[in-house]
Chains A and B, each alone.
Chain A
Amino acid sequence: MWWYVAKRLLQTIPVFLGATLILFILLKLRPGDPILNLAGNKPVSQEVRDALAAQYHLDDPLFVQWFQFAKNALTFNFGETFAGQPVFDLIKQTFPVTVVLALMALTIDAVLGIAIGTFAGLRRNGWFDSSALVVSLLLISIPIFVVGFVMQLVFGVKLGWTSPTVGSDWTIGDLILPAIVLAIANFAYTIRLTRTSVAENLSADHVRTARAKGLSERLVIRNHVLRNSLVPVVTYIGINLGSLMAGAVITETIFNVPGIGNAAYVAIQKGETSTVVAIVTFMVMVYVLMSLLVDLIYALLDPRIRYV
């Protein structure tokens, strides 16, 4: 298995190079001039412009910028933001809150999604199943920012149950509302995936065998239905953690969560190429490692899966 892990880790190198190159090309295609942004509406002299462009390598050819970035990244040197903060510090500072937010969302998503999905799957076409399907359809179709603003208004402003925004002195309690909002979009898929998976397994051969052996219904469901049903669900949820972190931009903006999504958004607005690339690359790496972790968890759920 360790060889498998090593192999997977080695695979991250081309992923890193490819992802950063694509990012550099995309950002290069963005028109506009970050220096003008930096200067607001005031005129900038050519000398100052040139000096700043040189400092942030804005005028270098694309490949030179990319090569420079990749080389520096090896030593965790991701350069500085326009405000003079090392990008690595920015990530270190903003990442934890995003991770906590994502993990909370994931927990809500997994616990509720799997519970409701299983229940619906076991009693297919019953009233519970039907209403779960309708509700999940509803949740899928409402845009996340609508859910966000409505929940903020209702629970934060009107009812005052929780702080409507998170801000710098964030606590786990502040993050509950944004985490629920973040979880909602994925939650609907988790329900549906679990339901289908459970339903399929109920009529599988090994379940029939288990029943035939005279095992109690509880044991059948726990050991033979659920365990097998969870394989696709775990894949989905695991990969989700990566996308939850990346997708937190909207939620973080609505609730003013000082996370990495927010930081990326601001950097894109200002055209800070190196900052954007560094943050996004970091997210890509998290994503890659998450999928590795998911693959390893597979083996825990399904002994037939081997890593050689």
Chain B
Amino acid sequence: MRLSRRTRLAGVAFVAVGSLTLAACGGGSDDKSGGTDSVITVYGTNPQNPLIPTATNEVGGGDPLDNLFSGLVAYNTDGSVTNEVAESIEPDAAKKVWTVKIKSGEKFTNGEAITADSFVKAWNYGANPANKQLNNYFFYPIEGTDDIGNTVDGDTVKGLKVVDDSTFTVTLKAPESDFPLRLGYSAYFPVPESAYGPDGKITKEFGERPIGNGPYKLTKSGWERNKQISLEPNPDYDGIHKPKNGGLVFKFYAGGGTDAAYTDVQSGNLDVLDQVPPSALTTFESDDKVAAYNEPGSSFSSLTIPEKLAHFEGAEGDLRRAAISLAINRPEITEKIFNNARTPAKDFTSPVLDGWTDKVEGNDVLTFNAEEAKKKWAEADAISKWDGKFVVAYNADGAGNKEFTEAMTNQVKNVLGIDSEPKVYPTFDELRKEVTERTIKTAFRTGWQADYPSMLNYLGPIYATGAGSNDGDYTNPAFDKLISEASAAEGDERYKLIGEAQAILLKELPAIPLWYQNATAVTNKDLNGFEFNWKQKPDYYKLTK
């Protein structure tokens, strides 16, 4: 068929109208929050899970949740805790049964009162594997759950009992003196009754528009997918994190995010970026367009050598591990590769924590010493001759991983005169899959970001026998005993026990401590009140401009 002139024109018109319609779709951008200067825009990423306290375990959703809810306790900037919703949290003499009393008159933003049930029901929900909550792991210390935090026998956790409207008790599996320290973490936040649907499940609507009790609440626009989450101060909140600003907007940066966010801070489109992109690490402190922050932080990096790896068991293993640790020149790597955005490790925890010291017995094994390394390696060779190569696995999607693993294996190669090389996994989950399935045949990089500010949270979950994140399958009854004793102890006694436990780790090196990741940030120059808390996050409520 030949196109008539009319059809042709129609075709042209069709194309033109099509493009106009499509263009119109995009034109309608939102109003920029009407002239309130005190709204602070901060870097964020689109949450990966619905905004439910027991389901959110990554920063994209975690940062907004921490501001939308408050728990029984709240963390101060230095990592100490203050009771928030809790009136008191008291243990029995054995520190096994904890009685929690809730302040009277506390409310969710929808007016619903906060009761013992707001907590107990939420925790039961989180621990029940049928609900697929990713934070169930946090409930493992409570009686009635298995090692990984799932409820055993029925749908409720046996160790949780509601006494009356404002009181409940928590029975732990083992004595633990720092149990209250855990309770500021998001998995333990209260959830209002209105969150549950008729089927007893937390509804989708709640996951989209959570109703909390924290310093902030969602604005009318709330969570706009792939765009931002906007919060405004909660007028009824009277805890220790009272907002000093007019609201927060978590602006999402997807994909290669932090580079774009850095540019936005430089040009004044974003107030706070709490992680400096690798591309700017050499320059950000001298960049006169931004205010820069750089200090040791709470995440710990290590090199885990699985216990089952050939030549790394028993006395021979101890010698080889020590030799490798001595062969690594940490200051050189942190300076040359990370531009001093890492601090060489002195122990297995983090310098931001209460009780931390750089004088743990035996930590000279973390100082570069080529002679000593060679000597230890030779001693190990005397027990059983080394063969093969020392391979270190890393994931390429983490900034700097490739560079530091290459540098580290080179140092090992040069100092010990053995074959050593990196092995790349494209993504984090690919590496982790082999690690969790125990099919990995090499040493691999590991890191830890604590869930609550306690040195024990760096030791127990990673090195205790059978613990959830014990990737190397390390086991030592003496260490286990010290950790459980430290859990029940307080004050100096506790830190003494932790020191002894760390001394064991430094001797046996189930993982070789590498460095603490520094907390780096850039902010708009007009911004005031920026301070890192123990989680390497700014205390958002303090920010003003």
A interface list, Cβ under 8 A from B: 1, 31-34, 36-45, 47-48, 51-52, 55, 82-85, 89-90, 93-94, 96-97, 99-100, 103, 152-153, 156-157, 160, 163-165, 167-172, 249, 252-256, 258, 262-263, 265-266, 269-271, 293, 296-297, 299-300, 303, 306-308
Stretch at the interface among B19-27, B232-240, B338-346: B19-27
- Rounded to whole Å, the gap between the CB of A96 and the closest CB of chain B is 4
By a CB distance below 8 angstroms, the chain A residues around B30 are 168-169
**Residues 1-27 of B contacting A (Cβ, < 8 Å):** 1-3, 7-8, 11-12, 15, 19, 22-23, 25-27
By a CB distance below 8 angstroms, the chain B residues around A38 are 48-49, 134
For the complex, give the distance between the alpha carbons of A43 and B137 in Å: 7
Starting from the known contacts A90-B225, A156-B267, A157-B267, 19 additional A-B residue pairs (CB-CB under 8 Å) come to: A1-B1, A1-B3, A31-B430, A37-B428, A37-B429, A38-B49, A39-B134, A41-B432, A42-B469, A48-B132, A94-B226, A100-B23, A170-B29, A172-B27, A252-B255, A256-B253, A262-B226, A266-B46, A307-B3
Q: Are A167 and B449 in touch, CB under 8 angstroms?
A: no
For the complex, give the distance between the alpha carbons of A39 and B132 in Å: 11
- Which of A31, A55, A163 has the most CB atoms of chain B within a 10 A radius of its CB? A31
For the complex, give the distance between the alpha carbons of A308 and B263 in Å: 54
**Residues 240-296 of B contacting A (Cβ, < 8 Å):** 251-257, 259-261, 263-264, 266-267, 269, 289
Query: How many residues on the B side are at the interface (Cβ–Cβ under 8 A)?
Result: 73
Q: Are B269 and A167 in touch, CB under 8 angstroms?
A: yes
B224 within 8 A of partner (CB): yes
By a CB distance below 8 angstroms, the chain B residues around A39 are 57, 134
Q: Are B225 and A89 in touch, CB under 8 angstroms?
A: yes
A85-B254 contact in complex given A31-B430, A164-B267, C-beta closer than 8 Å = no
By a CB distance below 8 angstroms, the chain A residues around B204 are 84
- Which of B7, B11, B58, B263 has the most CB atoms of chain A within a 10 A radius of its CB? B263
Question: Which of these, A253, A271, A303, A306, contacts B255 with CB under 8 Å?
Answer: A253
For the complex, give the distance between the alpha carbons of A93 and B227 in Å: 10
Q: Which 5 A-B pairs have the closest CB atoms?
A: A168-B227, A47-B129, A32-B430, A253-B255, A43-B468
- Rounded to whole Å, the gap between the CB of A28 and the closest CB of chain B is 14
By a CB distance below 8 angstroms, the chain A residues around B58 are 40
A96-B269 contact in complex given A55-B132, A297-B11, C-beta closer than 8 Å = no
B interface list, Cβ under 8 A from A: 1-3, 7-8, 11-12, 15, 19, 22-23, 25-27, 29-30, 32, 46-50, 57-58, 129-130, 132-137, 146, 148-150, 204, 207-208, 224-228, 251-257, 259-261, 263-264, 266-267, 269, 289, 397, 427-430, 432-433, 436, 447-449, 468-469
Q: Are A152 and B263 in touch, CB under 8 angstroms?
A: yes
For the complex, give the distance between the alpha carbons of A199 and B497 in Å: 85
Residue of B nearest to A97 (CB): B26
- Rounded to whole Å, the gap between the CB of B231 and the closest CB of chain A is 15
For the complex, give the distance between the alpha carbons of A160 and B266 in Å: 10
Question: Which of these, B23, B29, B259, B264, contacts A103 with CB under 8 Å?
Answer: B23
For the complex, give the distance between the alpha carbons of A45 and B204 in Å: 23
Q: Are B427 and A42 in touch, CB under 8 angstroms?
A: no
A41-B447 contact in complex given A89-B225, A296-B11, A299-B8, C-beta closer than 8 Å = yes
- Which of A45, A90, A293 has the most CB atoms of chain B within a 10 A radius of its CB? A45
Question: Which of these, A42, A82, A157, contacts B266 with CB under 8 Å?
Answer: A157
Contact sample, A vs B, 27 pairs, CB 8 Å cutoff: A36-B429, A37-B428, A38-B49, A40-B57, A42-B469, A43-B469, A45-B137, A48-B133, A48-B134, A83-B48, A89-B225, A93-B226, A94-B226, A97-B26, A99-B25, A100-B23, A157-B289, A163-B267, A165-B264, A167-B251, A168-B224, A168-B251, A168-B252, A169-B30, A256-B253, A258-B252, A269-B427
For the complex, give the distance between the alpha carbons of A93 and B30 in Å: 13
Question: Which of these, B8, B225, B430, B449, contacts A41 with CB under 8 Å?
Answer: B449
By a CB distance below 8 angstroms, the chain B residues around A103 are 19, 22-23
Q: Are A47 and B150 in touch, CB under 8 angstroms?
A: yes
